[in-house]
Structure 1
Amino acid sequence: MSVETDRDLGAELASPRAGHRGIPVDAICTGCQTVHVKRVRPSEVTKTTDADPVTLDARALTSFKHVCYRCQTATWWNPTAVLSGLVETERAAEEDR
């Protein structure tokens, strides 16, 4: 599934609503159908925790629990895309430090 291009994914990732640790994924809330960038630990969505996040396929990932601010509760989210471009941007920023 493609990621909508009219959204600022970087800004969504920087938002506290995305979470603090993990790889960035685009995900849809199973309650209200809101789509948002979320951070998720690989161990929460795949059995292959040592895989490079850039190579992960969202269709192979499992649902994960995360806060939905629209539903105002912790709810299940379904990953629709691994945001490999954001992963690579973060890696480059870490290398520059």
Structure 2
Amino acid sequence: MSVDADQDDRDLEAELASPAAGQFGVPVDAVCVGCGRTRVKRASLEEMDQHPQANPTALEATDCTSFKHVCYGCQTATWWNPVAVLTGLLESDRDRGE
């Protein structure tokens, strides 16, 4: 799924703005393999085993591999499985010039 689906009552923009999401990369909704927590994270195309020149808006979560990122619930760096490429947040980043 590459759309920004209604994620219960989560504020995806606030999650993306949090330092816990990371500073650079494509915004994805991902699940921590340690605790099962779902959060917005940023990952580079290379971290998700994609060509560095790939169009992030054309990616599907199923095309992306797991990536390592900090989980504040587990309090460690762990693997995250992408479940959605958040194209709406990606477009918002571009509109703000990030």
TM-score normalized with structure 2 length: 0.90
Amino acid at match of 1:47: Q
Match runs of 1:49-88 below 5 Å: 49-88=52-91
Structure whose residues are more often helix by fraction = 1
* CA distance in 1: counterparts of 2:43 and 2:15, whole angstroms: 14
TM-superposed CA distance for 1:21, in Å, is: 0.8
The percentage of aligned residue pairs carrying the same residue is 57
Amino acid at match of 1:87: L
Amino acid at match of 1:90: D
Indicate yes or no: 2:78 matched with 1:89: no
Q: Is the contact made by 1:3 and 1:81 (CA closer than 8 Å) also made in structure 2? A: no
Paired residue secondary structure (1:81): strand
Deviates more, 1:28-37 or 1:5-14: 5-14
Gaps of 5+ in 1: none
Amino acid at match of 1:33: G
Moved over 6 A (4+): none
Paired residue secondary structure (1:94): coil
* Residues matched between the structures, number: 95
Q: Residue in 2 aligned with 1:9? A: 12
Amino acid at match of 1:79: P
TM-superposed CA distance for 1:87, in Å, is: 0.5
Match runs of 1:37-56 below 5 Å: 37-56=40-59
Structure of higher RCO (CA pairs closer than 8 Å, 6+ residues apart): 2
Deviations 1:10-58 (CA, angstroms, capped at 9, x unpaired): 0000001001111100000001000000000111002322111111110
TM-score normalized with structure 1 length: 0.91
